[in-house]
Amino acid sequence: MADVRVEKLRRQFGSLVAVKDITFVFPEHAVTCLLGPSGCGKTTLLRMIAGLERPDAGAILFGDRNVTALPPRRRDVAMVFQYPVMYRTLSVIENIELPLANDRTLGAVERRQRVDEVIEILELGKFRHLHIDRLDLGSRQKVAVGRAIARRTAVTLFDEPTTNVEVHAKLALIRAFKEMRRHVKQTIIYVTHDQTEAMTLADQIALMHEGQIVQCAPPRELYEQPSSEFGGWFLGNPGMNFLTPQPAPQGGFQFDGLPFPLFAPNAGAEEIRLGIRPEHVRISRLPVPDGVPARVLRSAIGIGGQRLVTLVVGNSRIKAKIPPPSHPPEDAFEIGAEVFAVCPIERAILFHGGERLAEPPRRLAASPLAAR
C-alpha cells in the first residue's frame, strides 16, 4: 500500500503539452478522481502512472519506490479500462482468477478465497460460471473491476469505466464501486469527465484544465468554493452565473443583479467577475430587500421538477434554479413576467483574472453623504 506521487511530470505530443509539469500527491487509501473536459490531460496523466505512457520529464513514485522507469507489470498497479479487456472463452471466476496465478506467493486456496470475496462484494454470484460472452457490457465491466481489486495491488487505476455502459448498468457499477470501497483499502485514481460520477465516488477531486491540476478538494468544497472561474463553470448543471461590473459613480463596482455597489478590489473592472450559482438566486414577484428588477426570458423544467428560470437583469442574463411548484401551482413565473431577483452576496464569489479572490465580496460602505 502506498501513496502515489508525481513530480514535475510532463508529457508532450508534438507542440501540444498534454501534461504540464504536474507535481501532486494522491493520498494512500483514498479515491482521487481526475476530473476535466476532454483534452485536459487526465487520461495521459493516468496512463503515465500506469506505465502505459512514457513521461518526457519528471518522476512517479509509489510510496518511496521510484517507478518511473518500470514497466506496468513491475509497478504493483491494476487498471480498469473504458472497455473491459477479457478472456472471452473463460468464465467469470476464471477471468478474475487468472491474473492471480502469476502471483507465486498465493496458494490455490487463497486465490479462490480472493475470487469469492470480490464475487460477493460485486454481487456477481449468479454469473460466476457463465462465459464472459454471455454478459452485458455493464456486468463485464463489473468483472473487470473485480479482477483489478482481487490482485490487491497498491494502486488501482480507472479510466472512464462507465463511459460505454447504459444508464442502469452504470448505476449498478457505481453502487458496486461504493460497496467495494467499504471492503478494500487501496489507493485509487479514477479518471472521468462526468462531474456527477466524480462527486459521487471521490474522496477528493483533482480538477484538471489544460494539462494542469487547478484545484484539489473534497467534492462539496470543490463545488461550493471553486478556486477559479473554470471550476465554477465546469461543475454544476448549469454552471455558475458570471457577472461583469461597471465602475460605480460612488466608487466601487456595480453589478447587474445587485442594488448596491461592491467594495472594489485593487483591479480593473474588466478583470473582475462575480460568480453565483443558479440555486442561490431567488425570484420574487414583489419588491424584496436587495432585489433588483428582472424580466423572465425563459423557464424550463429541470432536474427533479425544479424550474430553471433565465432572467434578464440590466445587460446580463442570470439563471435561477427554483424548487418545483407546489400542487396546485401558485408561483409559476411565466415568460415576460416582471419580477425581482436577489443574488445573496454571502453566496457569491469574486474572481480576478479568472482566479478566486481571498476577500469575500462585501458591500461598499455607505457614502459619506448618506452617512450624514
Partner 1 sequence: MSRIRFERLRKSYRGSVALDDIDLDIEPSTLTVFCGPPGSGKSVLMRILIGLEAPSAGRILFDGEDITPLPAADRSIGYVPQSFALFPHMSVFDNLAYPLALQGAPRGDIRARVQQAARMVRIDRLLDKRPSQLSGGEKQRAAIARGILKNADIFILDDPLVGLDFKLRESLMEDLKDMRTEIGATFLYLTADPLEALTMADHLVVMDGGHIVEAGAVEAVYDHPAHLRTAELVGFPRCNILPAQMEGSSLVCRSDIGRFRVVLEDGGAASEVMLAIRPEDIAPAVSTAAPPAVGKVTLLENLGSETVVYVRTGETTLVTTIPAAANAVVDLGDAFPFMIRPGGPIVFDRSTHRRVGRLAETLNG
Give one DSSP letter per residue of 234-252, joined into a string: HSSSS--EEE-EEE-TTSS
Q: Which of 4, 199, 262, 311 binds partner 1 (CB under 8 A)?
A: 199
Query: How many Å apart are CA 299 and CA 13, to the nearest integer?
Result: 44
Per-residue cell: 303: 432536474
CA distance 192 to 34: 6
Q: Which of 41, 84, 219, 261 binds partner 1 (CB under 8 A)?
A: 219
Instruction: Give the range of 54-62, 120-128, 277-285, 360-368 binding partner 1 by CB under 8 A.
Output: 277-285
Q: Which three cell numbers stand for residue 325?
A: 411548484
**Shortest Cβ 35–partner 1 spacing (Å):** 11
CA dist 173 and 160 (Å) reads: 12
Nearer to partner 1, 175 or 183 (CB): 175
Name the one residue in this structure whose C-alpha cell is 479482477: 147
* SS3 of residue 318 by DSSP: strand
CA dist 110 and 102 (Å) reads 13
Q: Is 54 in the site for partner 1 (CB under 8 A)?
A: no
* Closest distance of CB 351 from partner 1, Å: 18
**Which grid cell sits at 256?**
447587474
Task: Choose, by CB under 8 A, the member of 193, 209, 273, 356 that binds partner 1.
Answer: 193
Stretch that binds partner 1, among 26-34, 108-116, 235-243, 362-370 (CB under 8 A): 235-243
Residue reference for cell 478522481: 33
Taking the C-alpha atoms of residue 37 and residue 208, their distance in angstroms, rounded to an integer, is 8
* Per CB under 8 A, 328 contacts partner 1: yes
Pairing of strands 204-209, 31-35: parallel
Out of 69, 137, 301, 365, name the contact with partner 1 by CB under 8 A. 301
- Here the cell at position 360 is 469575500
Choose, by CB under 8 A, the member of 41, 211, 239, 291 that binds partner 1.
239
- Cross-strand pairs, 35: 192, 207
CA 162/CA 192 separation, integer angstroms: 9
| Residue 2: CA count within 13 A, CB half-sphere | 18
Pick from 63, 72, 236, 314 the residue near partner 1 by CB under 8 A: 236
Q: How many residues bind partner 1 (CB under 8 A)?
A: 41
Interface with partner 1 includes 305 (CB under 8 A)? yes
Is residue 327 a contact residue for partner 1 (CB under 8 A)?
yes
Q: Shortest approach of partner 1 to residue 133 CB, angstroms?
A: 24
38 forms part of the interface with partner 1 (CB under 8 A): yes
Q: Does 277 bind partner 1 (CB under 8 A)?
A: yes
Does 174 engage in binding with partner 1 (CB under 8 A)?
yes
Applying CB under 8 A, which residues contact partner 1? Answer: 37-39, 171, 174-175, 178, 193-196, 199-200, 219-220, 223, 233-239, 277-279, 298, 300-306, 308, 321, 324, 327-329, 332
